[in-house]
Amino acid sequence: MDNRIIDLLNKIKEKPGFYIGRKSLLDLWHFLNGYQYRLFELEGEYYNLSGFQEYIENLYNFHGVHSWAQIIHFYCITDEAAFDKFYKHLDDFFKEMNLNSESET
């Protein structure tokens, strides 16, 4: 997993208003897609949260064509609650995969 994605996610978690305007999982998802696309344009490689989609699908037993953001959002009352739930799931994912949620760069 690319440390730039982890660094960015940690920054957004601390100051969501600065990066995406508000605590919103859907806004975060769109922002990340744009960021990942730009990295692809610059470097020709696609960086993502490898394994996180499958982790969320298995956690919610929700398989199909929906993104991890859509799945989490479906099970939350508000977009802000979905934002917070995403970060809880991300921390749990890192623990399960023996990854450090804090970048080592």
Span 30-67, pLDDT tens digits: 999 998 888 888 887 776 788 899 999 999 999 889 99
User: What percent of the chain clears pLDDT 90, i.e. is strictly above it?
Assistant: 66
Q: What is the mean pLDDT of residues 66-84?
A: 96
pTM recorded for the entire structure: 0.85
Q: Is 90 in contact with 101 (CB distance < 8 Å)?
A: yes
Q: What whole-number distance in Å separates Cα of residue 89 and Cα of residue 93?
A: 6
Q: Does the structure show a pLDDT above 50 at 17?
A: yes
Q: What whole-number distance in Å separates Cα of residue 29 and Cα of residue 35?
A: 10
- Burial string for 52-64 (b: 16+ CB within 10 Å, else e) reads beebbbebeeeee
